[in-house]
Amino acid sequence: MIPAEHRRLLAAYRMPAEWEQHLACYLAWPHNRDTWPGKFEVIPPIYAEMVGKIARFEPVRLAVTNASQIDEVRAMIRDAARRTEQEAPGPLLPIDIFHLPTNDAWARDHGPIFVNRLANAAASAGPNQIALDWRFNSWGEKYGAFDLDDVVPQKLGRRFGFEVIETGIVLEGGSIDVNGAGSILTTESCLLNPNRNPTLSRAEIEDYLRTYLGVANVLWLGDGIAGDDTDGHIDDLARFVAPDTVVTVLEDDPTDVNYKVLRDNLERLRAMRDQDGRALKIETIPMPPAVIHDGTRLPASYANFYIANGAVLMPTFNAPTDGRVAATLSRLFPGRRVVSIPSTDLVWGLGSVHCLSQQHPAR
């Protein structure tokens, strides 16, 4: 049950869209070898490249589980930044590397989600910004321990001095996407899955989203892509790129397992309306060719991009479709530089750049 005091307080707040200005980006250095079985050794250098590229555009706050690694991690990032400076030019912004143990690296799902006080709200309504601490249960208790990940928002709040409110229900950051104007995208396969909040109905979950995130309009897609162990996170399917525009992935091969699922989601989007009753503008990007490792279909998707200050960090898969998607994202984000993050190996861990990052919006 949502506490009455939360309803009163949070009526004056909203979750900003990802393209709004960021104070910093939260990341967690990869250390769990079980996440990338047989391939872990190649992951830290790729991750260091990702950190360096993000830091060209916004400050980074990077949690490291093993405190003795901090100097080594800093050196890896600096080396990677030097190698990739031509692709992401400019000085590195501050990279704060600190000791904070995690079970895994998926900061999108265990990190805090921030809401900002509305511009027209009275100063007495509360602080300028609040961090929401949703419960984290390892995507329905699929993997091992998740106790360290579940307390990350509280520990970050103490370190960086922001207020944290516990919502009391399970929700991962990758399962939602907002336009900052009152609409939110999510999926039935994830949020309605009994492995998250089995006692809550659709209407009750919508009530939590409206209350805590300041949205009025909940837009439900159906199923996720093949190989997605999150039960269908929205950040592999469809993303707001403007208050009135959604970009969604499509599979052109009718024999591919994702073809029907993604066509169904497209038809749902075409029937949807925004918070003001207007039809959404729909843009499409292709899926990459199937990425398969050890006989396993991986959840490779171009929708898993991260919108940073002045840039879009885009997963790439060494495929002809990389260039087509980069051109589309450049058109959809004028004034932002599209920067590639090699993700063929990253996605063996079942996620890419958006799954690994969580923005701290400016206030």
Cite the active site residues. Answer: 355
Q: How many whole angstroms separate alpha carbon 157 and alpha carbon 153?
A: 6
Tokens of 353: 């750049």
Under 8 Å between Cβ of 268 and 17: no
Q: Specify the 3-state DSSP secondary structure of 162.
A: coil
Q: Parallel, antiparallel, or unpaired for β 238-242 and 60-64? A: unpaired
d(CA 76, CA 45): 7
Q: Which residues are within 8 A (CB) of 108 and not within 5 positions of it... i.e. 6 or more apart?
A: 172, 173, 174, 235, 351, 354, 355, 356, 357, 358
Straight-line distance from the first to the last Cα atom of the chain, in angstroms, rounded to the nearest whole number: 29
Nearest to 361 by CA among 181, 185, 180: 180
Strands (E), the chain: 13-14, 22-28, 60-64, 95-99, 113-117, 129-135, 164-170, 177-178, 183-187, 217-221, 238-242, 245-250, 281-286, 292-293, 296-297, 306-308, 311-316, 337-342, 358-361
| Residue 153 backbone phi and psi in degrees, to 5 | -60, -40
DSSP run (H or E) holding 299: none
d(C-alpha 163, C-alpha 142), whole Å: 30
Are the beta carbons of 223 and 189 closer than 8 angstroms?
A: yes
Task: Name the nearest CA neighbour of 19 among 185, 175, 242.
Answer: 242
Phi, psi (deg, nearest 5) at residue 320: -60, -25
